[in-house]
Amino acid sequence: MQELINRAKELLADGTVARVLGYKAGDLPYNPEPAYFESAEELKDFVYNGFCGANLSKYMIEASKLEGKTMVFLKPCDTYSFNQLLKEHRVDRDKAYIVGVGCKGKLDIEKVKKQGIKGIQSIKGADITDDAQILTIQTIYGEKTCSYGDAMLERCHVCKGKEHRIFDEQIGESKETKDAERFAEVERIEAMSPEEKFAYFRSELSKCIRCNACRNACPACSCRKCVFDSNKFDSSQKANVDSFEEKMFHIIRAFHVAGRCTDCGECSRVCPQGIPLHLFNRKFIKDIDELYGEYQAGADTDSTAPLTDYTFEDAEPSIVGKRG
């Protein structure tokens, strides 16, 4: 962490950047929040640890409008999102000074809590420089431990790789965290009967409160104004009035980001109801890979996106029924 702060101070001091986009501590030991720092003084509040899971790429849309460069800390997976935004002309490469930060997996406090660890006061072993495999957690009920791996976000278990796709400099080491198949969960659902699928998604989606957290966190869902907030489709709505609307919302949301979603997993991370929203996006990614050739959004800035591309031999929509 200190290395990041030192580097930030240097770049602020020599005028390379006008501000630093990083994290400051939140009100709890596990909820650091994104923040701007404009001076060495302000950087005393800077934190960076395993709980800094938020994808800062999306903040660069606004930062690109500001005067001067913004120094931003991006994990390997965040750089895919940055690339995708760059491709869509939403961020300005010249306005960003990208520090690619090493990653050994990001933590999910819900996973810790699920292990019965409550009343958390402080957590050790979550700093990026720590080599610790174990989190030591001070709670009001005494000290508890939890393995780092067990506390990791789902997305880190299916990590796309620890290589930064775009950066100005890199700080910190990464550690491979992938130990699960990316599409295993999608395949599990695909194998269900229609009734089971329907029951599964109905039960998951009935939890949706339309708080729009998924939309707000998603770097691909970055429209100036969402169709669900405009009158362009007579679809403007504030709250769900029936069971259909959340389905509509989530399907359309997934469709709008299809071929653009980098599978960063922010939607699921921020959902207060714990809905595995990434399963929608990942279904589209799987379909695209299978039908139109493997495609990773954000891997580069010049490939043709699958939904703006075609071949004469493309599968017919009837393939959906034939695949069984």
Partner 1 sequence: MQRIGVFVCHCGSNIAGAVDVSKVAEMALMEPGVVHAEDYQYMCSEAGQAKIAAAILEKSLTGIVVCSCSPRMHEATFRKAAERAGLNPYMVEIANIREHCSWIHKDMEEATKKAVILMRAAVAKVNLNTPLQAGESRVTKRALVIGGGIAGIQTALDIADAGYEVDIVEKTPSIGGRMSQLDKTFPTLDCSACILTPKMVEAAAHDKIKIYTYSEVEKVSGFVGDFTVDIRKKARSVDMNKCTGCGVCQEKCPSKKAPSEFNRGLNTRSAIYTPFAQAIPNVPVIDREACIKFKTGKCGICSKVCQAGAIDYEQKDEIVTEKYGAIVVATGFDTIQLDKYDEYAYGQSKDVITSLELERVMNAAGPTHGHLERLSDGKAPKEIVFIQCVGSRCADDRGKPYCSKICCMYTAKHAMLIRDKYPDVNVTVFYIDVRTPGKNFDEFYRRAVEQYGVNYIKGQVGKVIPKPDGKLLVQGSDLLDNRQILKEADMVVLATAIEPNPDVRKIATMLTASIDTNNFLTEAHAKLRPVESPTAGIFLSGVCQGPKDIPETVAQAGAAAVKAIGLLAKDKLMTNPCTAQADVLLCNGCSTCENVCPYGAITYEDKEVNDHGIRETRRVAVVNNALCQGCGACTVACPSGAMDLQGFSNRQIIAEVDAICR
Partner 2 sequence: MSLENKEFKPKIVAFCCNWCSYAGADLAGSSRLTYPADVKIIRVPCSCRVNPMFILRAFEKGADGVIMCGCHPGDCHYSTGNYYARRRMTLLFSMLDYIGVENGRTRVEWVSAAEGVKFSETMNSFVEKIYSLGENVRLGDLRCKS
Judged by CB under 8 A, the residue of 224, 241, 242, 322 near partner 1 is 224
Which residue, chain included where needed, has tokens 């100005």? 168
Contact by Cβ (8 Å): 111, 268? no
Pattern of binders to partner 2 over 303-322, x per CB under 8 A?
A: ---xxxxxxx-xxxxxxxx-
Question: What CA–CA distance (Å, rounded) separates 17 from 32?
Answer: 23
Question: What CA–CA distance (Å, rounded) separates 315 from 264?
Answer: 27
Tell me which of partner 1, partner 2, none is bound by residue 13, counting a contact when its beta carbon lies within the kind-specific cut-off of 5 to 8 angstroms: none
Question: What CA–CA distance (Å, rounded) separates 181 from 256?
Answer: 25
Contact by Cβ (8 Å): 208, 228? no
**Number of residues near partner 1 (by CB under 8 A):** 21
**Which residues are bridge partners to 100 per DSSP?**
74, 170
The verdict on 299 binding partner 2 (CB under 8 A) reads no
Burial of 292 (0-12, 13-18, 19+ CB in 10 A): middle
Judged by CB under 8 A, the residue of 52, 126, 156, 257 near partner 1 is 257
Judged by CB under 8 A, the residue of 28, 223, 251, 319 near partner 1 is 223
Q: Which of residues 217-246 bind partner 2 (CB under 8 A)?
A: 227, 233, 235, 241-245
Pattern of binders to partner 2 over 94-133, x per CB under 8 A?
A: ----------------------------------------
CB nearer to partner 2: give 142 or 194.
194
Tell me which of partner 2, partner 1, none is bound by residue 89, counting a contact when its beta carbon lies within the kind-specific cut-off of 5 to 8 angstroms: partner 1
Question: What CA–CA distance (Å, rounded) separates 52 from 34?
Answer: 8
The verdict on 185 binding partner 1 (CB under 8 A) reads no
CB nearer to partner 2: give 179 or 190.
190
Q: Which of residues 226-255 bind partner 1 (CB under 8 A)?
A: 226-227, 230-234
Q: Which of residues 252-281 bind partner 2 (CB under 8 A)?
A: 252, 254-255, 258, 280
Residue 185 φ then ψ, to 5°: -70, -40
Query: Smallest distance, Å, CB 236 to partner 2?
Result: 12
Q: Which letter, b or e, does each residue of 114-153 get, where b requires 16 or more Cβ atoms within 10 Å of its Cβ?
A: eeebeebeebebbebeeeeeebebeeeeeebebebeebbb
CB nearer to partner 1: give 128 or 220.
220
